[in-house]
Amino acid sequence: MRIVVAGGGWAGCAAAAAAAKRGADVVLCERTDLLLGTGLSGGIMRNNGRDTAAEELLALGGGELIAAADLCARHRDVDFPGHSHATLYDTSRMPVAVENLLRAMRVEIRFETRITRVNARGGRIASVVSQKGEEFAAEAFIDATGSAGPQANCAKYGSGCAMCALRCPSYGPRVSLCALAGVRESPCVRADGGTGAVSGSCKLDKSSLAPSLRDALDARGVCITPLPAELIRDKLGVKACRQYALDAYRDNLILLDTGSAKLMSPWMPLADLHRVPGFENARCEEPLAGGRGNSVRLLAAVARDDAMRVLGTANLFCAGEKAGMLVGHTEAIVTGTIAGYNAVRLLQNLPLTALPRSLACGDAVAYARETFPNVRVTFSGAEYFGRMKENGLYTTDRSEVRRRVAKAGLSDVFAR
């Protein structure tokens, strides 16, 4: 059984792990020289309902990446505005930790391999071809290429290329397997009528901050500095991460310690930032033009079923933001795990499996499909976290999560 995964973000890595664990020969093609995609500038796990989802994945037997993030944690049980019990992983350590994990699972990782052509007939893909002319034949394919960029979209819908972690100028723009296969992609339409959404945070060089801020981050993982009234700018409406679209993120500079100082704002003009005490020498680390803008995301989702198979195709699955407006690392891991698991079931001539709605992971996947493409779904806040609480899905009780998974007859299902 041979499976090709395009895109080495959190979703693609989860898909590769799930498929390899079930005995597939997996090739993971990553456009750049590092895994994790937007996870390179992320760092937040287990906040709010993501803790429930993480524990469900562990109970379902698909929690290897969750465990890896726990091991790379700089801080645990961090509370910040609108969020509780977060784990902050080290964004420098995380990519190599995941790479080592996948290699130990015998996943073949092909860096700097950008898929630019699909050979398909009748909705079935036979092979894909890289920009270098390398052909990868397989029986099933998983599109985890994301929904951010490329440069032309960041110019059209944003402020131009902000030189983010995706590094399109160096490694070429994102190319979608679904689009190459003729599948229609849809962007998110915001409440203000705009298209797509801007990445909700940027990273500051921690060494460029005042010692008092650095000490606070090292000690507690979070630091909140009120903004002077004249520097407050409302950028909440354009944020991809609706869970952080709260007034506190408009009125304050909220920093989280992920190795760098993660600033919970899409961008902040340096001229304004330097007027805030403690930020006089602040410098943007990622994106490099974080004083002007950020990457544009949520531009390329496709219709799929709850087993993550792309509608209208025979052997193409999707995961991450490609699978609908599911925003976040945990959300990407959930969809990737389901996609990798079902890609193998397809090749084994077994029925494809959707998680039940008695579990947060299953309900979120179904809800994102039902509200596709305009509702952004995340376990950690906004509309869907409210739904979790209303439906009794949110819990921090580990034993309760294991009981629910066992009641559904799915304990360690992804490991079987």
What digits encode the pLDDT tens for the residues 207-254?
Answer: 999 999 999 999 999 999 999 999 988 776 665 566 677 889 899 999
Residue labelled with tokens 């630091």: 223
Residue labelled with tokens 């290329």: 161
Count the Cβ atoms, other than its own, within 10 Å of residue 85: 14
pLDDT tens profile 8-52: 999 999 999 999 999 999 999 999 999 999 999 999 999 999 999
Six-digit token string for 14: 């989860």
Q: How is residue 194 annotated by DSSP?
A: -
SS3 at position 297? strand
Q: Are residues 239 and 102 in the same domain?
A: no
pLDDT higher at 267 or 113? 113
Q: Which of 24, 127, 12 shows the shortest CA–CA distance to 346?
A: 24
Domain stop point among 295, 313, 331: 295
List Cβ neighbours of 186 (8 Å cut-off, separation of 6 or more). Answer: 300, 301, 302, 303, 372, 373
Six-digit token string for 112: 């700097």
Backbone angles phi, psi at 179, to 5 degrees: -60, -40
Number of structural domains in the chain: 2
Q: Are residues 110 and 14 in the same domain?
A: yes
List Cβ neighbours of 286 (8 Å cut-off, separation of 6 or more). Answer: 40, 41, 164, 165, 202, 203, 260
Per the CB < 8 A criterion, the answer to whether 278 and 209 are in contact is yes
Q: What is the mean pLDDT of the chain?
A: 94
Res. 367: pLDDT tops 70: yes
Domain stop point among 267, 295, 323: 295
Instruction: Tell me which of 93-102, 232-241, 353-362, 370-379 is least confident.
Output: 232-241
Tell me what pLDDT residue 241 has. 64
Q: Is the alpha carbon torsion for 44, 47, 52, 58 positive or negative? A: positive
Confidence of residue 192 (pLDDT cuts 50, 70, 90): confident
Q: Are residues 332 and 208 in the same domain?
A: no
**Range 277-281 average pLDDT:** 97
Q: What is the pTM of this model?
A: 0.96
pLDDT above 90 covers a percentage of the chain that reads 86
SS3 content of the chain, % helix, strand, coil (to 5): 35, 20, 40
Q: How is residue 328 annotated by DSSP?
A: S
Tell me the CA distances in angstroms from 44 to 17, 220, 346, 388, one per residue in order: 21, 14, 33, 19
Pairing of strands 108-110, 25-29: parallel
Six-digit token string for 312: 């209208």
Q: Are residues 290 and 302 in the same domain?
A: no
Domain stop point among 242, 260, 295: 295
Q: Are residues 387 and 284 in the same domain?
A: no
Per the CB < 8 A criterion, the answer to whether 53 and 361 are in contact is yes
Alpha helical stretches, state H, 237-310: 247-251, 270-273
User: Domain range for residue 211?
Assistant: 197-295
Q: Are residues 280 and 303 in the same domain?
A: no
Angle 327-299-289 from CA coordinates, rounded to 5°: 80
Amino acid 140 reads A
Per the CB < 8 A criterion, the answer to whether 261 and 204 are in contact is yes
Tell me what pLDDT residue 239 has. 59
Q: Are residues 136 and 17 in the same domain?
A: yes
**Total count of residues recorded for the chain:** 416
Pairing of strands 2-6, 124-130: unpaired
Tell me what pLDDT residue 149 has. 84
Six-digit token string for 223: 């630091």
Tell me the CA distances in angstroms from 153 to 148, 149, 340, one per residue in order: 8, 6, 29
Tell me what pLDDT residue 188 has. 84
Res. 2: pLDDT tops 90: yes
Here the CATH number for the domain that contains residue 119 is 3.50.50.60
Q: Are residues 230 and 349 in the same domain?
A: no
Tell me the CA distances in angstroms from 246 to 50, 233, 394, one per residue in order: 18, 13, 21
Q: How far apart are the first and last CA of the chain?
A: 16
pLDDT above 70 covers a percentage of the chain that reads 98
Q: Are residues 212 and 285 in the same domain?
A: yes
Instruction: Tell me which of 46-55, 101-110, 260-269 is least confident.
Output: 260-269
Per the CB < 8 A criterion, the answer to whether 204 and 260 are in contact is yes
- Output the 3-class SS for 85-143: EEEEECCCCHHHHHHHHHHHCCCEEECCCCEEEEEEECCEEEEEEECCCCEEECCEEEE
Q: Are residues 337 and 358 in the same domain?
A: yes
Q: Are residues 314 and 286 in the same domain?
A: no
Q: Which of 257, 341, 227 shows the shortest CA–CA distance to 78?
A: 257
Q: How is residue 321 annotated by DSSP?
A: G
Residue labelled with tokens 């959404």: 197
Tell me what pLDDT residue 350 has. 97
Q: Are residues 278 and 349 in the same domain?
A: no
**Range 73-77 average pLDDT:** 98
